[in-house]
Structure 1
């Protein structure tokens, strides 16, 4: 069965530094789900496979309860294992140095949500679309606390990728001060780490960002090159 991907919304990404243990992770994610995120990505770059399975399984249960897809970052084997248990609610996000999107699509099936990192390159976006991507992620657009060394991107890439007909995700420094610019530039979804999970009131942060997501004309800032604003 094809898992439905929302046309627009807030895409929350976990961080094991901000959410260092099971209790903190699950509590924060449940709050974000209740507040209205439309996608949740589980990202844990540690070598602890047992922890990744335990946390991924618990997050899948939460996501199923809220009818929100759980996207596994850069771990096809974990995604496959979770998919066997939880079905179509499980997806995968792949970067340029991860397993190929074509391989992921073949193993997870046509119905799975699979997203691809495209940085600032239309050629990468075209290749991802041809390989069966469900969405295209671009960025970083603004200064980022989570990945300060990530290559910068221009907001104009979002408009350039529009003809591909896939949801465009803006990532990198997205917070309440920058989200409007990303939406106005064409991003259907906003991927957020610190401006959700690093905030003292997660529910309020999600609600405030969702107001911006719902109003694509929120920002009157010009869409120009890479921006460097307060990091998120």
Structure 2
């Protein structure tokens, strides 16, 4: 799957921390997609390999049904095994060139970046898009460094590939990201931490559409 820049508008990153006891991840992700999520990333830090694999297959099937791109966070082997649309890697994960060599030319590769230098290198090594953050304080990614909005804008101006902001983004603060040249936002709690996931996604998408056009 080739990356369509528009699919990055509202990028939902899963987190089972928000699941109620009776809920399955695939069901809440479906609510997010129905509400307007345009891209799904499966992020699992603590699942064993077999459970991760089963969950990945389930979500891949769901996303294919709705024609929404589906990538795996960090785990290149599982992305390969289930033929996911791609993978997202951080600065401490597998290097972009190596990921591209493993996945081939037709998969989507996203890379986290906190500096202009990291962003340019990721683009040169074959990244399709960048996730930049944390742009606001966040509890869900305790390893994320803060990125100023000046740096965010500088990264957007330095690369030709799409850039999405991540980290602490909410319905209340998303419009503060206007004017930076972003293609979209990546969120966890702003979707999966909400009581009505579908409605929260719909409202956040409307605000994000306004933000990217400013």
Normalising TM by the smaller chain, what interval? over 0.9
Partner residue in 2 for 1:108? 103
Alignment correspondent of 2:39:
39
Residue 187 (structure 1) shift:
1.8
SS class of match (1:71): strand
CA distance in 2 between partners of 1:22 and 1:57 (Å): 20
Q: Note the C-alpha offset of 1:186.
A: 2.3
Q: How does 1:126-137 map to 2 (within 5 A)?
A: 126-137=120-131
TM-align CA RMSD: 1.9
For residue 157 of structure 1, what is the aligned residue in structure 2? 151
TM superposition score normalised by structure 2: 0.92
Take 1:218 and 1:22, find their aligned partners in 2: how far apart are those partners?
A: 39
Matched, 1:117 2:112: yes
1:178 is displaced (CA, Å) by 1.4
SS of the equivalent of 1:204 reads: helix
> 2:49 and 2:101 mapped to 1: Cα distance?
23
> Which residue pairs with 2:165 in the alignment?
170
Q: How many residues align?
A: 212
Name whichever of 152-161 and 131-140 sits farther off: 152-161
C-alpha contact 1:138 1:169 (8 A) present in aligned 2: yes
Q: Is the 8 A contact 1:180 1:218 kept in 2?
A: no
- The answer for the alignment partner of 1:80 in structure 2 is 80
Alignment of 1:1-232 (within 5 A): 2-7=1-6, 8-19=8-19, 23-83=23-83, 90-119=85-114, 121-148=115-142, 150-161=144-155, 162-216=157-211
- Measure the CA separation in 2 of the matches of 1:27 and 1:92: 22
Q: Which runs of 5+ in 2 are unaligned?
A: none
Q: Kindly report structure 1 stretches of 4+ aligned residues shifted beyond 6 Å.
A: none
Deviation at 1:212, TM superposition (A): 1.2
What is the CA distance between 1:159 and its match in structure 2?
A: 2.1
Tell me, in whole angstroms, the C-alpha distance in 1 between the residues paired with 2:206 and 2:67: 21
Distance 1:198 1:187 in 2: 24
Aligned counterparts of 1:31 and 1:129: Cα–Cα separation in 2: 33
CA distance 1:200–1:118, shift in 2 (3 Å): same
Separation of aligned partners in 2, 1:188 and 1:90: 19
* TM-score (norm: length of structure 1): 0.85
In 2, Cα distance between equivalents of 1:198 and 1:218:
26
Contact 1:69-1:90 at 8 Å conserved across structures: yes
